[in-house]
Amino acid sequence: MPDLASILLRRSVGSLDSGRSRCATCSRSPLVGERLHEMDSGRMLCDLCLWELPEEERQAVRSERVHASERQLAVAPRAA
């Protein structure tokens, strides 16, 4: 009989991963707080793979930080 806890864990981790951009080199989804860099060629690279490149190729067109959620956090007035 399969271990239910490990199945549920695998599914929840998989759902965290869905919809996020992946690194074109290592296929990893960068963790929250890491940056993803878009290169001239349109490839997206994680921080680690970007620093593996020779310095002359290390020119990202755009860099964006990975956020915990795609949804904006609610901003509400403080309770008195």
Q: How far is the CB of 24 from Zn ion (least distance, A)?
A: 8
Which amino acid is present at 47?
D
Is residue 23 within 8 A of residue 46, CB to CB? The reply is yes
Give the count of residues interacting with Zn ion (CB under 5 A): 5
Q: CA–CA separation, 32 vs 56, rounded Å?
A: 27
Give me the residue whose beta carbon is nearest to Zn ion: 23
- For Zn ion, the binding residues in 15-54 under the rule CB under 5 A are 23, 25-26, 46, 49
Closer to Zn ion by Cβ: residue 39 or 46: 46
Alpha helices in the chain (DSSP H): 4-17, 47-52
Residues that bind Zn ion (CB under 5 A): 23, 25-26, 46, 49
